[in-house]
Chains A and B, each alone.
Chain A
Amino acid sequence: MTAIPRWADVILVPLLSLLLAFLLSGLVVLWIGENPLTALFIIVKGSVGSPYGWGYTLYYTTNFVFTGLAVAVAFHAKMFNIGGEGQATLGGLGAALVCLAVEWPHWLLAFPAAVIAAALFGAAWAAVPAYLQARRGSHIVITTIMFNFIAFALLVYLLVHVMKPPGQMAPESRPFPPGAHLPTAHEMLAWIGIPFSKSPPLNVSFLLALVACVLVWLLIWRTRLGYEIRAFGHSETAAVYAGISPVRIIMLSMLISGGLAGLMAVNTVAGEAERLLIDSVQGAGFVGIAVALMGRSHPIGVLCAAFLFGILYQGGAELEFEMPAVNREMIVVIQALVILFAGALDNMVRLPVERLFAMVRREAS
């Protein structure tokens, strides 16, 4: 880590990874007989070329900020939380139950309630794997991913047998009351007189995501708990020697992580669909891992990486609309390549960069 300067670590390496991913994706696009440059143009134009595109890009960004922060917080304690998917599923359930429970008079009441419920449900879902890790040593990777399946099965059961209105065929809850409608970007910008596209589901949750970034930064670098989490993550034995309780740190970091993952569902469930759907997480739990890796577990990095993935998601959807030869499987391939390079193959780029810097340094000295 110390072999290269910080700017290279946080900017150069992710950028090179991204470039490689795009190059390979370009080859894939070329292979199916389309122009990769046109494809790139469609992705960029579709995601940041219009208010409509921006709205959707930032909507997806909101999802990835929450799940990315969730993974990042756990990373600081050396916990690999890959259960964001399940925690967000439960978060959605919590938000939906709250929104459906009462006829909300105003969103200013419904929003905090949904936020609290989503965070609590997400945290509760992370609590069991955290407890098993802290007390029993069951590996968190295994337990969190298993809890994803349990969460999905639970949601299907509840939607099909409990929450679905009688006679309705699609497994969805009934729509939320109008009072639980969260203001969209269109409505919020209208308050200050700026016109904005009506279509995108970008809503007040985006602001919550920005607040979450600041809070996570404060937590990790400006509080005693954050210090303990980082100390524990760097060296468990040293942390124990310093009087830090591993059980406490594992539990707290995972609860915060689960809570953040749960918040993601406020955006999709209360912000967009305004009813509980079967697939409201849309894979954001897993994308969060790549976002945290790419963002080097720093809130600013997470925000940037989340924005990149937002572009990729919205641009990918646009690509599917504009280029019929690029079907939904191709979009997944391109998104997967970026995740692969940014996340899994980090060392492939990092090692040559480190060598290059070492060489430059040797020559300089």
Chain B
Amino acid sequence: MATVGPHLHFIKQGARLTPRSKHEGTGRELTMKTPQILTAILATAGFISGAAFAEPALIYDMGGKFDKSFNESAYTGAERFKAATGSGYREIELQSQAQREQAIRRFAEAGNNPVVMTGFAFGSALAKVAPEFPDTKFVIIDMVVDEPNVQSIVFKEHEGSFLVGYLAAETSESDVIGFVGGMDIPLIRRFACGYVQGAKAANPDVQVIQNMTGNEPTAWNDPVKGSELTKAQVAAGADVVYHAAGGTGVGVLQAAADAGILGIGVDANQNHLHPGAVLTSMIKRVDVAVEEAFTQGSNIEPGITVLGLAQDGVGYALDENNQSLISDDMQATIENLREQIIGGDIRVHDYVSDGSCPVS
């Protein structure tokens, strides 16, 4: 049941990643291979039979649980795990930056396993705490922590961003598009760089205006500034604006809808926030990652998991809210591009690999 339940939920949600994943009906897979699926099922069976089982725990980053984006996506995954298995989980929202270590320790001390945390900012805290609890498994999303009991999950955001960048440039009539990032860090530059590459692939003359909200973590939760930056980009001629800014993006999408232009959502499927005014969303399956980690429980394999287009870890959202904005031809083109990226015919440059972007 555990492997079917979430999947049904996934369809109901209407947020199918891509048509292909619908055909195959395996949209929720990460990089799971058959033995791993078996372990997952066995682990799940272990929960149901009430064997020694520690509840998994989830720590949200500063953006907050209901940021309609990154953290909320993690919450969705956790809830799906709960619905599918009937088991509970523990969670906490951070009150301050400085509580990261305490939050991780507290869950590890209480025997929660695995302890999942969303966000690169947990990196140093986890690197310090993980060795203190060798029997606990930790999962960190968006960051690599090299410890024997940590699974690090990172996404190829540049691949998904490439697709929405292509869509943005094709849709734009002014040949000016915008990007609003949250905190100015290499991770967000990776989004921006993929986006620009996609846009330039569609139209070499397109101009991309890029803005970052700020330098520190409050930049993830500043919708007012997000809205201001978007208005400035609209004034400069942009008619499609993509955000990778967590809670700040709520303001970006609102300002885009108010100005009568198109926004592009991120992380979660945000098409429904302003139906008809959100071109698409670059989905990053944080929800699947969290659900998968919870389901595997303490049997989760340490190491690094990289999720890209090929693993359906990233993608673009197509649902009833944006159907009218994306023509069948366009969809076919994007699908084609997707196949080419997966097949290696198109190489999307990863900003993080060398700290620079070939296009701007």
The residues of A with any CB-CB pair to B shorter than 8 Å are 52, 56, 156-157, 159-160, 167, 169-172, 175, 198-199, 201, 268, 272-275, 277-280, 282-283, 317, 320-321, 324, 327-328, 331-332
Q: Which of B91-99, B244-252, B302-310 contacts A (4 or more CB under 8 A)?
A: B91-99
Interface size on B, residues (CB 8 A): 33
| Contact present for A279 and B98 (CB under 8 Å) | yes
Interface check B22, CB cutoff 8 A: no
- Chain B residues with Cβ below 8 Å from A278 are 97, 216-217
CB proximity of A177 to chain B, nearest CB, Å = 15
Q: Which residues of A contact B95 (CB under 8 A)?
A: 317, 320, 328, 331-332
Please measure, in the bound complex, the distance between the C-alpha atom of A278 and the C-alpha atom of B215, giving whole angstroms: 11
0/1 interface trace, chain B 76-103, chain A, CB 8 Å (1 if under):
0000000000000011111111110110
Stretch touching chain A among B24-32, B120-128, B195-203, B324-332 = B120-128
Q: Is B187 an interface residue (CB 8 A)?
A: yes
Closest Cβ of chain B to A321, distance in Å, is 6
Contact A198 B96 (CB under 8 A): no
Q: What is the minimal beta-carbon distance from A84 to any residue of chain B, in angstroms?
A: 16
In angstroms, how far is the closest chain A Cβ from the Cβ of B74?
15
Contacts of B101 in A (CB 8 A): 201, 272-273
Distance between A322 CB and nearest chain B CB, rounded to angstroms: 9
Looking at A52, A170, A274, A282, the one whose CB has the most chain B CB atoms below 10 A away is A170
CA distance in complex: A327, B91 (Å): 10
- 9 closest Cβ contacts across the A-B interface? A279-B97, A169-B185, A160-B215, A328-B93, A170-B121, A156-B216, A199-B105, A328-B95, A282-B98
Knowing that A277-B98, A317-B95, A317-B99 touch, tell me 15 more A-B residue pairs with CB under 8 angstroms.
Answer: A167-B186, A169-B143, A169-B187, A170-B120, A172-B124, A272-B98, A273-B101, A278-B216, A279-B96, A280-B98, A282-B96, A282-B99, A320-B95, A321-B107, A328-B93
Give min CB distance, B119 to chain A, whole Å: 9
B355 touches A (CB below 8 Å): yes
Within 8 A of A (CB), among B172-224: 184-187, 215-217
Nearest-neighbour CB distance to chain A for B104, whole angstroms, equals 10
Query: Is the CB–CB distance between B110 and A321 below 8 Å?
Result: yes
> Nearest Cβ in chain A — how far from B213, in angstroms?
13
Residues of A within 8 A of B91 (CB): 324
List, in ascending order, chain A residues with CB within 8 A of B355's CB: 167
A185 to chain B, nearest CB (A): 14
The CA-CA distance from A170 to B122 in the complex, in Å, is 9
Query: When the two chains form their complex, are residues B186 and A283 in contact, meaning their CB atoms are under 8 A apart?
Result: no
The answer to whether B94 touches A328 (Cβ under 8 A) is yes
Instruction: Tell me if B320 counts as interface (CB < 8 A to partner A).
Output: no
Chain B's nearest CB lies how many Å from the CB of A201? Answer: 7
The CA of A199 and the CA of B95, in the complex, are separated in Å by 19
